[in-house]
Amino acid sequence: MANQKDLNIAILIDADNVSHKKIAGILNEVKRYGIPTIKRIYGDWTSPYVENWKDNLLTHAITPIQQYSYTQGKNSTDSALIIDAMDILHSDRVDGFCIVSSDSDFTRLATRLRESGKLVIGIGERKTPKPFISSCDKFIYVEILEKDAQEKKVKKKPVAPVTPIASEPKSPAKTESDNLALDEEIMLLLKDAVDDTADESGWAFLGEIGSLIIKRQPDFDSRNYGFEKISHLFKSMKSDFEIDERTTEKSKIKLYYIRNIIDRSNNHEEILKVIDSVIIPSTGNQITAEDVRKNQIRITKEFKHLFPSRSKKIKVRIKHEHECAFSRHRDRSFVLNLGKPAATELELHEGSSYRLTKYEDQSYSIEKLLGKNT
């Protein structure tokens, strides 16, 4: 989102669905994406439920919009917010909208704004229904903003010694603001994003990874899992990802590149059952100069049972994991197309022999046999 710093953003707040205590964090978060040029909050200001908002409106220069509760039990602010959003949209004064609410009634509004090419940021509680989250370009949970503010206060050193109190406050019980777990679904999201943005060598630029993740899951935020930045999140998972920090000649800014890894060390064969292990090429065959030039290994009929029944991409582990293409042919030997990065890592040479192992998860590993044209 770095390229969107100068966007003009309209912030529209549903006072019935957010606490006044969180407004400072919300405004600071929006400023990461652009400039809040329009700030409006909607509610029934004759109601005692929004009484605490009034001081914050003056402090943060937010314009209150009065909306009376015509019917008991109905959220009357929704229609006023939606009408204003459409008026602002057609005035073409802003580049994006921030809708602060946990109400799914704004799902269609967010969709309509995005259809008009506007950036839509949603901010709400973790109880926010999935349809509203999915309709936004980016959705942020207010719980992580509140937690960020608390952590920054803790880090501040006291100016003078604090007089001890009679009893120490108890540690707060765990709430919704606690870190979410990095479950299997999130790990798959991260790994798929790396794979889908990676170059031929498997390395993917962190900026592109982050952009793809947000497109696929708008409410993804590394702070949900206790990490201030997504780079810190990847660094914490060294067994799953490789991190390469690079600098350019013209700038000292670090650029992060990520690559998926699968650790087959520590007796991995005990975890994944070995289906078969063979020496390729078979007796009477050899790796030719043409094979080396094409970065391929020809698979003869005696080994065809180890491979898929149709042409497809397969995962092959050498030192790192590579996605290779397996091609089946009717009248000649099948071909394992390694690709240049995998062939280089394998040290593919004319006349060499290799051990190919198939595992129960339909993955493979290849290692060069020592003494074979090394």
Both tokens assigned to 363: 């993955």
Q: Where are the alpha helices (DSSP H) in the chain?
A: 23-30, 54-59, 77-91, 107-115, 130-134, 142-155, 184-197, 206-216, 230-235, 268-271, 289-294, 340-346
Please report the pLDDT score of residue 11 as a whole number. Answer: 96
Instruction: Please tell me the CATH code under which domain 268-368 is placed.
Output: 2.40.330.10
H or E element, residue 133: helix 130-134
Please report the pLDDT score of residue 360 as a whole number. Answer: 80
Q: What are phi and psi of 333, to 5 degrees?
A: -65, 150
CB 146 within 8 A of CB 223: no
Instruction: Provide the whole-model pTM.
Output: 0.61
Spatial CA neighbour of 234 closest among 265, 194, 196: 194
CATH 3.40.50.1010 fits 1-160, yes or no: yes
Both tokens assigned to 50: 């929004």
Domain boundaries defined on the chain: 1-160, 181-261, 268-368
Quick one: CATH architecture of 181-261? 2-Layer Sandwich (3.30)
Please report the pLDDT score of residue 198 as a whole number. Answer: 87
CB 90 within 8 A of CB 65: no
Both tokens assigned to 99: 């809708």
Please report the pLDDT score of residue 270 as a whole number. Answer: 46
Both tokens assigned to 311: 């042409």
Spatial CA neighbour of 138 closest among 234, 214, 245: 214
Spatial CA neighbour of 32 closest among 147, 133, 138: 138
* Tally of CB atoms within 10 A around 159: 6
Please report the pLDDT score of residue 69 as a whole number. Answer: 67
Mean pLDDT by 10 residues, the chain (374 residues): 69 88 91 93 83 85 82 64 95 95 92 96 94 95 75 52 48 52 86 88 90 93 90 89 82 84 52 84 89 92 87 88 85 85 92 90 85 50
Indicate the residue type of 106.
Answer: F
Both tokens assigned to 37: 């040029």
| DSSP letters for 22-68 | GHHHHHHHHTTTEEEEEEEEEE-TTSGGGGGGHHHHHHTTPEEEE--
Please report the pLDDT score of residue 266 as a whole number. Answer: 47
Both tokens assigned to 106: 């704004």
